Structure 1
Amino acid sequence: MHSDDKVDIASREELEMLLRLFYQDVLSDPIIGFFFTDVIAFSLEQHLPRVIDFWAQILFGESSYQGQLFERHQHIHQQAKLSQHHFSRWLHLLNNNIDRHFEGLNCTKMKTRAARIAESMAAALEQKSPSNNPRTGVQFFTP
């Protein structure tokens, strides 16, 4: 796809296309792929609608996302430690897929929000202990 052919992410269908390409990379990635193939029972077809809802809420103002973002990652972290390195790799793969296939304001918004989420999630998991509130200072939906 030439740069001139790229469009902004403007629909759920485009989000699905982007996220399917992203998860192809994630699942085969030597750094983070094992979380999806060995640590958790992962089904792309079950996971994808939730992730599309999550990003549609951020990008398009939809209110269909009902997940528990931090709690899901906390569960994974308890089985195999998630580090800043893992979140950085996730962010790199996401940004790479966005840049390869799309460009525009929603792309920038998605990359900016993803960076904030990765940073917040890594920090929250790093300082999480049984006596701490896992939500303290963590805001995943801030504008």
Structure 2
Amino acid sequence: MHSELTRDAIATLVADFYADIRRDALLQPVFDAAIGEHWDEHLGRMVDFWCSVMLASAEFKGNVYGKHMALQGIGPEHFRRWLGLFEAHARRLFAPDTAEAFLAAARRIAASLQYGYFGRVEVAG
């Protein structure tokens, strides 16, 4: 468990979480279709994204909502699986208060995307 919230700790979360996604029968096809051979670039952007969210680093520049709305075939089950994996990694790597802060942010992001896909929140997380 990381005692401090640092860029290195966030990089560990991102690497471990996305390693699970790449092995997941439901999520892997969606992510591979969107990311293709650009996984290293994606992981770096996700570290920047979560550093911006959790450390207010302002490193991430991008349109999260627009990128995700371009994906096809997304259902509530994808959100359930994504949130479940993310929660497991956040709780494993961070103290409870820090894990909860990660999860609150992940749930807000998921809720926003679900409104875009379904017009409502299907999975509360």
Both structures adopt the same fold (TM-score exceeding 0.5): yes
Q: Structure 1: give runs of 5+ residues left out of the alignment.
A: 1-5, 128-143
Pick aligned residue for 1:125 from 95, 117, 122: 117
Distance 2:111 2:34 in 1: 22
Distance 1:28 1:44 in 2: 14
Pick aligned residue for 2:67 from 68, 72, 85: 72
- The alignment-based identity, stated in percent, is 24
What is the root-mean-square deviation in Å for CA atoms of aligned residues?
A: 1.5
Q: Which residue of 2 aligns with 1:53?
A: 48
Q: Secondary structure at the match of 2:110?
A: helix
- Runs of 4+, deviation exceeding 3 Å: none
User: How much has 1:9 moved relative to structure 2?
Assistant: 5.0
Q: Give the aligned length.
A: 118
TM-score, normalising length: structure 1: 0.75
Q: Which residue of 2 aligns with 1:15?
A: 10
TM-score, normalising length: structure 2: 0.85
1:100 is the counterpart of 2:95:
no
**Per the alignment, do residues 114 and 7 of structure 1 end up closer, same or farther by CA in structure 2, a change over 3 Å counting?**
same
Structure number, greater radius of gyration: 1
Contact 2:2 2:9 in 1 (8 A): no
Q: Structure 2: give runs of 5+ residues left out of the alignment.
A: 120-125
Contact 1:50 1:65 in 2 (8 A): yes
Q: Secondary structure at the match of 1:64?
A: coil
Q: Which residue of 1 aligns with 2:34?
A: 40
